[in-house]
Amino acid sequence: MQDSRQLRRNANMNYLRRYWTLYLLLALPVAFIIIFRYFPMAYILSAFKVNNILKAPWELPWAKNHGFEWFIKAFQNRDFLFALRNTVTLNLLDLLLGFPAPILLALLLNELTFKRFKRVTQTIVYLPHFLSWIIISGLALRLLAFNDGLVNIVLQRIGLDPIPFLNSPGHWVGSYVFLGIWKEAGWNTIIYLAAITSINPELYEAAAVDGANRLRRIWHVTLPGLRPTIIVLLIMSLGRILGSEFDRPFALSNRLVTSVSNVISIFVYEYGIKGMQFSLSNAVGLFQSVIGLFFLIGANSLAKRYGERGIW
Amino acid sequence: MKRTLTVLLLLAMLLSTGLSAVFAEDAEIVDGKFTTTRKITVEIYDRANEGGTKPEDNFYTDFIKEGMLRDHNVEVTFVPVPRWTEVDVLNNLLAAGDAPDICVTYSYPTIQTYAEMGGVTDLAPLLEQYKDQLPNLWELLGDDNIYWNRDPEKGTLWAIEALLFVNKRINTFVREDWLKKLNLEEPRTLEEFEAMLISFRNNAELLLGADAEKMIPYATSFDVGWRNDHLITSFVPEDLSDRDTYVRGFDDRHMLYPNYKEGVRVLNKWYNDGLIWKDFPVYPAGDSTEDNLLKAGYVGAFIHNWDYPYRNGEDSIHANIQRAYGPEAGFIAVEPFPNDAGIYRKFLAAPIDRKVFFPATNTEPVASLFYLDFISKLENRRFLQIGEEGVTHEVLENGAIKTLAVQGEKIMNSLNNIDYTITINGLDTGNPDVNVLSVAQGYDKVDARYIEKAYELSSKDARYGKNFSVGLIEAEVGMNTSLNNKRDTFLTQSIVAPVDQFDAVYDSGMDDYLSSGGQAIIDEREAAYDKYY
């Protein structure tokens, strides 16, 4: 007994002596996460309290209605309910149209045989990812404005009616989703292309020998090979169904379409940050996170039930 | 472990009591001068101008530092805060307890929020005690501005109001050369103004030649209330009571004033008649598209800040138009919108400007008050506003001060060093006649007659905002941004609506505004007004 314990301790010591530098390397990112991701969580408390930035969260008095004052306030606010609706709608559309886009694009890129052309195309489709939404909204205005936008000028010159891309709520949603796909689809292909390279080429050869044409090979080899990656990314994007970007809707929006463009992050900005009601915005943020967590767990267990690996 | 902690705590306590004993020592002041040197920090706006000097360390800060040390034995350190994000940065500084001893902001709600949390020094007892030693502050601001924000119940005072010395707001501008070309008089009524716009539209070929299709008779922006104020508020009845200006005065664009809707209806009609820039709703704040259209000379009329076409020297709208269309071209201020009593009434703000306050972390409130007094002394603020003769200004024959553009260490980072003269906004030479002449000289390459007219019309027949000291209106807290956005949104939407849907769009927008907090504010203001007046 004594000996084996001694032995185990020695083994542990040896292990530490050999790898302590790696642990040291790890210490910094762990410290970062603890300090900037976990410590601030103490301020979740302020979602249930009367806010006062000059005091620590545990010193604050509880808010009215057993601490749920801010949640009640949010749900009584019509703007919040609209924001909730818009967030869900825009995110669902993004999921429906934006999620398959990079998969399709990756499949197309993968089928290109002329390597140099493939590489150039890849670089070009990545580029928009590096533009900020502010720049893209500027481009969108120059291109899509109802009267002065380039696209509409062209349409009018060839005798068509101009299209209110940014002026009518319906069209705006379309422009919003389209611009999102245009910006991110290329970048998001990276992970799929990487997954495709790990598919065993013998499978393609075998399929070819069996007489499968290109489409059949994509359907029966490439896509099944991508399935685990697709599932993981799908689960993660379901976790963000209530999350909302700020800069994209904020930059693209204008006064004519606020009925569909005001999302939760904009609500938080207007009431919470600008109006300095930090507890309210904290409550909304907490609500978003909790729902997001439910979706994440739900999607994960669903994936597992159907025999996939899930994300944990 | 426990013992070391206890020892440390004890030490910290001892230290802090010792330190506070030092601070608590009564201010020894002889002839307005401290016997021992005091140190204060002062917020200064940083505009990050190209070619400018460091806002916290330059010729003018040296003037202040030397003066404060000489007159009051107070050492001043400046803390730069970015001008355009001042509220956010100030929030951070206040929350961290790092705010300068003297803070300045345009946002009273920010001060109020921190005051409620106990983060701001109450100035009332200090001012009472040291009033005799602050003659210059009182001479400049008077009881009105100093006690503007005093709480009527508790008597607390969280901030004093700087003086808005040149109280101008907006003007209605039209292209003077177009009027001449079309043989039109300056419009004096709404009908004449509308006829003028129609005439611009119908004569686009004559006025713009090959660019005829770019003609925009009237330009505006999503900030409908600001950019059409003269037109819309001419529909507000002249007999509007003071009570109503307060009760319906939460919205600084006057949107809650009676009969406002009829003014917006005119814009709706114009929009549908093709008289207004079609794409105005989609461009956000700060976008330069409209400015470029103005500079290109495609726009016939617009309403904007009182001196807007003349600002920015070589790059002003005026200079651009003159380069492209000759010396006759230019915008001139006009007065086309009389109200129901035939008066060209302008609603102007109260003469208040930035708000100066001391955070609770200020341990030198008396030295800080001396600073405000120093900065308010005519001799000192005059030097800060116009600088040295022959370097930053020259005195013309009629006595007017003409500012000179300088490079290098004596450059002013803001017009008349407004960022240093935190108790006054607007050039004050000490002589009212010289002031008007000097303002007109402040615009490079613009004939003085344009400026003089704009200066006069902007505040002619003005009705100034009054101070109604009723304390905090709870319903207003945190509502500014969301309600302002609602206002801009529904006003914009009702302008672009088809004429037959105008009422529906406007009314539902107004309902939404009122039910989202607008009505609660009106009700609470009503109750507060009736309680105190």
- pLDDT of the residue at B23: 47
Looking at the complex, does the CB of residue B279 fall below 8 Å from at least one CB of chain A?
Answer: yes
State the best of B282, B283, B493, B516 to mutate against chain A, taking most chain A CBs within 10 Å: B282
Question: What is the rounded average pLDDT of the residues A117-138?
Answer: 93
**3-state SS class at B374:** helix
For residue B1, being part of any structural domain is answered with no
Residue B104 and residue B213 in one domain: no
What is the predicted pLDDT for the residue at A148? Answer: 83
Interface contact B283-A256, CB threshold 8 A: no
Mean pLDDT on A134-147:
92
Contacts of B287 in chain A (CB under 8 A): 141
Tokens of A266: 């904009």
B121 touches chain A (CB under 8 A): no
- What percent of chain B shows pLDDT beyond 90? 74
User: How far apart are the C-alpha atoms of B111 and B114, rounded to whole Å?
Assistant: 5
Does B478 reach chain A within 8 Å, measured CB to CB?
yes
**Residue A148's closest chain B neighbor by CA?**
B279
Instruction: Judge whether B420 lies within some domain.
Output: yes
Nearest by Cα to A103 from A213, A229, A245: A229
ipTM for the predicted complex? 0.80
Last residue of some domain: B348, B363, B389? B348
Domain total for chain B? 2
What average pLDDT score do residues A29-56 get?
Answer: 87
Contact (CB<8Å) B480/A254: no
pLDDT in the model for residue A50: 85
Cβ–Cβ below 8 Å for B282 and A141: yes
* Residue pair A98/A182 in contact by the 8 Å Cβ criterion: no
Nearest beta carbon to residue A270 from set B281, B481, B488 = B481
Task: Verify that B231 and B316 share a domain, yes or no.
Answer: yes
Residue A141 to residue B222, Cβ atoms within 8 A? no
**Domain-located, residue B136:** yes
Residue B14 one-letter amino acid: L
Instruction: List the single residue in B278, B477, B479 with the smallest CB-CB distance to A147.
Output: B278
- DSSP character for B389? B
Q: Does B29 touch chain A (CB under 8 A)?
A: no
B110 touching A, CB under 8 A?
Answer: yes
* Burial bucket for residue B341 (CB in 10 Å: 0-12, 13-18, 19+): exposed
Among residues B426, B449, B484, the one where a domain terminates is B426
Does the beta-carbon distance from A276 to B91 stay under 8 Å?
yes
- The minimal CB distance from B117 to the residues A54, A167, A254 is found for A54
Cβ partners under 8 Å of residue A304, min gap 6: A310
B5 occurs within a structural domain: no
CA distance A192 to chain B (A): 37
Rounded mean pLDDT, B415-444? 89
Q: What is the reported pLDDT for B2?
A: 52
The sign of the CA dihedral B286, B291, B293, B299 is positive
User: Chain B contacts of A255, Cβ < 8 Å?
Assistant: 222, 281, 488-489, 492-493
d(CA B496, CA B287): 20
Residues whose CB falls within 8 Å of the CB of residue B226, separated by 6 or more in sequence, listed in order:
B170, B253
Shared domain for B225 and B337, answered yes or no, is yes
Tell me, yes or no, whether B19 lies in a domain: no
Q: Alpha-carbon distance A161 to A159, whole Å?
A: 7
Looking at the structure, do residues B226 and B333 belong to the same domain, yes or no? yes
Q: Which of B426, B450, B482 is the last residue of a domain?
A: B426
Contact B193, B276 (CB under 8 A): no
pLDDT > 70: what percent of chain B?
A: 95
What domain range includes position B84?
Answer: 28-162+350-426
pLDDT at B378 over 70: yes
Same domain, B186 and B276: yes
- C-alpha B497/C-alpha B507 separation (Å) is 12
Task: Say whether both B75 and B137 belong to one domain.
Answer: yes
For residue B217, name the pLDDT band (cuts at 50, 70, 90).
Answer: very high
Which residue type occupies A283? A
Chain B residues with beta carbon closer than 8 angstroms to that of A54: 94-95, 97, 114, 117-119
User: A222: burial class by Cβ within 10 Å (0-12, 13-18, 19+)?
Assistant: buried
* Residues B70 and B76: beta-carbon distance below 8 Å: no
Q: Is the pLDDT of residue B55 over 90?
A: yes
Say whether B282 and A146 touch across the interface (CB within 8 A): yes
The full 3-state SS of B238-255, as one line of letters, equals CCCCHHHHHHCCCCCCCC
| Helix residue ranges per DSSP H, B302-407 | 317-325, 365-376, 378-386
CB contact under 8 A, B493 and A147: no
Position B486 in a domain: no
Give yes or no for A40 touching B (CB within 8 A).
no
Task: Report which of residues A242 and B486 the model is more confident about.
Answer: B486
Mean pLDDT of B7-25: 49
Residue B38 token pair: 């005091």
**Region B38-43 average pLDDT:** 96
Q: What is the dihedral of CA B111, B116, B121, B126, to 10 degrees?
A: 110
Mean pLDDT value across residues B363-368: 96
Rounded Cα–Cα distance for residues B240 and B168 (Å): 21
B154 shares its domain with B192: no
What is the model's pLDDT at position B22? 45
Q: Which residue of B has its CA nearest to A56?
A: B95
Closest chain B residue to A277, measured at CA: B478
Residues B323 and B222 in one domain: yes
B150-181 pLDDT, tens digit each: 998 899 999 999 999 989 999 999 999 999 99
Q: What is the DSSP string of A183-236?
A: HHHHHHHHHHHHHHHTS-HHHHHHHHHTT--HHHHIIIIIHHHHHHHHHHHHHH
Asked if B222's CB is within 8 angstroms of A54's CB, the reply is no
Chain B residue with Cα closest to A169: B493
Residue B232 lies in a domain: yes
Instruction: Answer yes or no: do B186 and B328 share one domain.
Output: yes
pLDDT of residue B258: 96
Mean pLDDT of B467-487: 89
Tell if the CB–CB gap between B95 and A145 is shorter than 8 Å: no
Based on the fold, state whether residues B134 and B229 are members of the same structural domain. no
**Taking CA atoms, what residue in B is nearest to A258?**
B489
Task: Using alpha carbons, select from B491, B488, B464, B478 the residue that is nearest to residue B521.
Answer: B478
Cα distance from A275 to chain B (closest Cα, Å)?
4
* End-to-end Cα distance, chain A: 37
| B193 inside domain | yes
Q: Under 8 Å CB-to-CB from B318, ≥6 apart: which residues?
A: B309, B310, B330, B331, B445, B446, B450
Contact at 8 Å (CB) between B162 and B145? Answer: yes
DSSP tally for chain A: helices H, then strands E:
15, 0
Q: In whole numbers, what is the pLDDT of chain B averaged over residues?
A: 91
* Closest Cβ opposite residue A79 in set B287, B482, B496: B482
Residue B32, chain A, CB below 8 Å: the answer is: no
Same domain, B62 and B110: yes
- How far, in Å, CA of A63 to CA of A50, rounded? 5
Touching A: B residues 67-96, CB under 8 Å: 91, 94-95
Q: Which residues of B touch A133 (CB under 8 A)?
A: none
Residue B206 maps to which CATH number?
3.40.190.10
Residues of chain B contacting A281 with CB distance shorter than 8 Å: none
With 0-12 CB in 10 A as exposed, 13-18 as middle and 19+ as buried, what is B277? buried
| CA distance from start to end of chain B | 63
User: Of B357, B351, B350, B311, whose CA–CA distance to B331 is shortest?
Assistant: B311
The shortest CB-CB distance from A146 to any of B279, B289, B515 is to B279
Whether residues B370 and B339 fall in one domain: no
Which domains, from first to last, does chain A contain? 71-305 (1.10.3720.10)
- Give the contacts of A219 (CB within 8 A, at least 6 positions apart): none
